[in-house]
Amino acid sequence: MSPELMTLLLMGGLMLMLMLGTEIGVAMGLTAAAGLVFAVNKPLVQMGWTAWESMNSFTLLAMPMFIFMGAVFSGSGAINLLFRALDKWLGWMPGGLASVVIASNGVFGAISGSSVAAAATFSMIAYPEMEKRRYDPKLSLGAIAVGGTLSVLVPPSLILIVYGSWENVSVARLFAAAVVPGFMLMLLLMLTVILMVKLNPSIAPRTESASWKERFVALKDMAPWLVVIVVVMGSIFGGLMTPTEASALGAFMSLGIAWYYKSLSYEMVKSAALTAVKVTAMIAFIIFAARLLSFVFQDLGATAKLSSAVLGLDLGKYGTMLMIVLLYLILGMFFDSFAMMLLTLSFIMPIIIKLGYDPIWWGVTFVLLAEIGLVTPPFGLNLFTIHGVLPKFSVMYIARSSLPFLAVMLLMVGILIVFPGLALWLPRLLY
């Protein structure tokens, strides 16, 4: 059987299992095992070697630490204080609470790196307040759904940690590269809220401005967040610590913050630790399964042939990038962000390098594309997370509410493709 036909059979089997509801990691693992035996004639002990090679990474140790840090902050009640504090500073703007949700997600992302956690948290904290103030549900849900995606881009980002480990790229440089695009996207989303409210004032009532005294008092509630962000990110960007070492420091500091808010307890620490273990185990299994499947496709020669075929289309630099963006927009509707990235990197990276783009730039650009997948049906994780917390709104209703913000995210992807220096400026300055 030809390698091309075998590749099609394996991909068909993978898609069939996914349509039947098989978990993505299990589906990739079973497909890879079948490929090892029937396609490339390798012993199944290769699974053990791949598991060790995939997981034996000092870089990946940062992942459970950052997850633990975000879970402790969530359990400490500090997010409520952050939301109220930012409301004092930003609530006066048109659609103020929607902008507060977006800004809060940007700050929360600098602690947790989890979009699902952000979507669930702000669905519980922000939506009831926005409903009480008579905000239009579409504006509220759109801001929560798309605001949550900032937690994936703003460092520390779990996807960037995995990408850096997989491609052997500096995670510190990836974090630095995400800062400017993350800040720009946050401002663009807030500007979108302002324009929407200016065009239709009925979707968000005007809020009275807080006094300067209230704003300065609110700084006290933001101080713990700012201290942790400055210390953790500052130690990474300043070259004092690796991201893994900084993640351990951040986890320790989060416990100190929980103690400061008098919410530190055995049950809370246990819950945060279990969350870190569960999420890390899930991601680790996907990494292992994707690495094994990538090994099979590389051994078949499928990845090299596919890369050559795409480059052979002679679409030009921007035409090829447009095709890649469309590919990821489609895949994002069906695949988990980690699985989508790890399945495609082996044939996408040679194309990116051939086009003259930097791997650090691509890491940030991919995260933006992955963010869009989080809020596109039928399998957008943020949509289902918000629906789970607010079941009175259908998944499609939440997806439609996100459309104006999705256009802004696509605009940001285009800006990065045309001006890659926006992502590369800070890492070049620091390193």
- Inter-residue contact 160 to 363 (CB < 8 Å): yes
Range 172-179 average pLDDT: 91
Q: Rounded CA gap, 64 and 1, in Å? A: 43
Cβ 193 vs Cβ 91: under 8 Å: no
Q: Which two tokens stand for residue 407?
A: 């256009």
Element (H, E) at 317: helix 316-331
What global pTM score does this model have?
Answer: 0.85
Q: What is the pLDDT of residue 299?
A: 79
d(CA 386, CA 75): 19
* Rounded-to-integer distance, Cα 300 and Cα 7, Å: 8
* Rounded mean pLDDT, 262-286: 85
The pLDDT of 101-108, averaged and rounded, is: 82
**CB within 8 Å of 339: residues ≥ 6 apart:** 24, 25, 28, 286, 290
Which one has a higher pLDDT value, 80 or 410?
410
CA distance 171 to 175: 6
Q: Is the pLDDT of residue 425 over 90?
A: yes
The per-residue pLDDT for range 237-261, each reduced to its tens digit, is: 888 888 889 889 988 888 888 888 7
B/e letters for 166-204, b = 16+ CB within 10 Å, e = fewer, are: beebbbbbbbbbbbbbbeebbebbbebbbebbeeeeebb
Segment 102-110 shows an average pLDDT of: 78
Which segment of 52-66, 78-92, 108-122, 189-203 scores lowest on mean pLDDT?
108-122
Which of 18, 42, 20, 19 is closest to 297 using CA atoms? 42
Tell me which DSSP letter residue 211 carries.
P
Angle, in degrees to the nearest 10, between helices 266-300 and 158-167: 40
Q: Lowest-pLDDT range, 139-143, 146-150, 179-183?
A: 146-150
Smallest Cα–Cα separation from 371: which of 176, 125, 109?
Answer: 109
Q: pLDDT tens, 312-327?
A: 777 788 888 898 888 8
Average pLDDT estimate for 215-231:
80
